[in-house]
Amino acid sequence: MNFPLTQLQPELVVRDAVMEDIDSIYSMMKSYSDRGILLPRSKSDICDNLLKFTVIDYNSETIACGALEIFTSELCEVRSLVVASHMKHTGLGRILVESLMEKARSLGLKRIMALTYVPEFFHKLGFKTVQKELFPEKVWSVCVKCCKFNDCDEVAVVADL
């Protein structure tokens, strides 16, 4: 069931993730990674990278998450972006990405990218589709560990901060 954002907003909390969020981040991501929509992450990987995660709560339930991965002093990535199925298309994805962009800006980063199956969503937020080869930092640090390394069908998008 989808709700209008104006109805949700008073109850929304956007915050940094804490240890208690690991299970809900894992479950939200797994519901999509099981269907091949998102790359899977283990609980220990989420734990190791917890400081990078922002989450959204609605009525004390964690319903969305996303992580900011820094590659260089200029370039970062939106990773592990998920809105719980029953809350999609209510504006939460936009709130989360804009919050991660604000965090990146405040850190002094200059560009933010993503590898995605939903480039149209990112285009709505000002990202442009580009060639993946523009991001060797991503390819060599994260993509080499991915099972789809030789057969990547995701689209690269980037925005200036």
Ligand X SMILES: CC(C)(COP(=O)(O)OP(=O)(O)OC[C@H]1O[C@@H](n2cnc3c(N)ncnc32)[C@H](O)[C@@H]1OP(=O)(O)O)[C@@H](O)C(=O)NCCC(=O)NCCS
Coil/strand/helix, residue 54: strand
Given a contact cutoff of 8 angstroms between Cβ atoms, the answer to whether 57 and 96 are in contact is no
For residues 66 to 95, the per-residue mask of contacts with ligand X, x marking binding by CB under 6 A and - elsewhere, is: ---------------xxx----xxxxxxx-
SS3 (DSSP) at 14: strand
Restricting to residues 8-37, which ones interact with ligand X according to CB under 6 A?
32, 37
62 binds ligand X (CB under 6 A): no
Contact string 101-140 vs ligand X (x = CB under 6 A): -------------x-xxx-xx--x----------------
- Evaluate whether 123 touches 153 at the Cβ level (below 8 Å): no
Closest to ligand X by CB, 93 or 158:
93
DSSP element (H, E) containing 13: strand 12-16
Question: Of 88 and 111, which CB lies nearer to ligand X in the complex structure?
Answer: 88
Nearer to ligand X, 78 or 109 (CB): 78
What amino acid occupies position 47? C
Tell me how far apart the alpha carbons of residues 111 and 62 are, in angstroms, rounded to a whole number.
28
Q: How far apart are the first and last CA of the chain?
A: 33
Q: Which is nearer to ligand X, 38 or 68 (CB)?
A: 38
Binding site for ligand X (CB under 6 A): 32, 37-38, 81-83, 88-94, 114, 116-118, 120-121, 124
